[in-house]
């Protein structure tokens, strides 16, 4: 059972997400917070597996809350929510450790899919803005190859490229003709070697360092 916390300062959004997720047999909503400070306090007590949090909230915004959540043990997987797909806080949320983000008007099924993906350690970005988001994020600070990149094996580079193309672990396994469990191990090693926290950050890294181009996606 995946334990989920919701945070949003708008009651209709909190209630809507609670109703949506509670209807799933493998998801349990264990609380709802009204702002970032409330979210952090609840997370410390309830220890959720996944958190869905608005970015813009009073008292403590979602960005500050995500940073606090990343210091918890165990650390929950965080999905950022926003009304605006160009919200500047979004980029900070991904850098802070969020595994993905959704627009609040996304297809309801996408919220369920995102929670399940986060529980598996996989990020999910709303398809409406994936290309524009990662392109903008990756293009903000283009960088040359790093020493960490040289530490990757040939297979790990292959996995990173397919990851940056938006493939899931199962899809990467099919392309490279290896087991999904092997892909998971490679992804974990890639993140560790590159000093990254999430798959989303790995995608941004690959684009920023020229391992893939938009013609490849």
What does the pLDDT look like over 88-147, one tens digit per residue?
Answer: 666 777 778 888 888 888 888 889 989 998 888 777 777 666 666 666 655 655 566 677
121 Rama class: left (phi>0) / alpha (psi -120 to 50) / beta: left
Query: Where would I find the beta strands (DSSP E) of 44-139?
Result: 50-54, 77-82, 100-103
- What's 196's DSSP letter? -
pLDDT in tens, 23-37: 899 999 999 999 999
Q: What is the pTM of this model?
A: 0.72
Which structural domains are found in the chain, ordered by start?
2-128 (3.40.50.2300), 142-208 (1.10.10.10)
Q: Token match 């990149």: residue?
A: 149
What φ, ψ does residue 166 adopt, rounded to 5°?
95, 15
> Strand, coil or helix: what is 80?
strand
pLDDT band at 209 (very low <50, low <70, confident <90, very high): confident
CA 95 to chain centre: 10
């Amino acid at each position: 059972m995946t334990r989920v916390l919701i945070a949003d300062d708008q009651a209709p959004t909190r209630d809507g997400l609670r109703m949506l997720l509670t209807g799933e047999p493998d998801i349990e909503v264990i609380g709802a917070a009204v702002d970032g400070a409330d979210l952090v306090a609840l997370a410390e007590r309830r220890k959720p597996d996944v958190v869905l949090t608005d970015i813009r909230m009073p008292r403590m915004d979602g960005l500050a809350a995500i940073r606090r959540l990343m210091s918890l043990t165990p650390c929950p997987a965080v999905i950022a929510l926003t009304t605006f797909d160009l919200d500047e806080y979004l980029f900070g949320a991904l850098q802070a450790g969020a595994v993905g983000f959704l627009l609040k008007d996304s297809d309801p099924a996408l919220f369920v899919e995102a929670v399940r993906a986060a529980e598996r350690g996989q990020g999910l970005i709303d398809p409406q803005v994936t290309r524009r988001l990662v392109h903008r994020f990756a293009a903000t600070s283009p960088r040359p190859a790093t020493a960490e990149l040289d530490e990757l094996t040939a297979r790990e580079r292959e996995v990173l490229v397919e990851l940056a193309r938006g493939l899931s672990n199962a899809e990467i396994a099919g392309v490279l003709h290896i087991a999904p469990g092997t892909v998971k191990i490679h992804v974990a090693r890639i993140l560790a070697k590159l000093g990254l926290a999430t798959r989303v950050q790995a995608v941004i890294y690959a684009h920023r360092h020229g391992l893939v181009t938009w013609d490849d996606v």
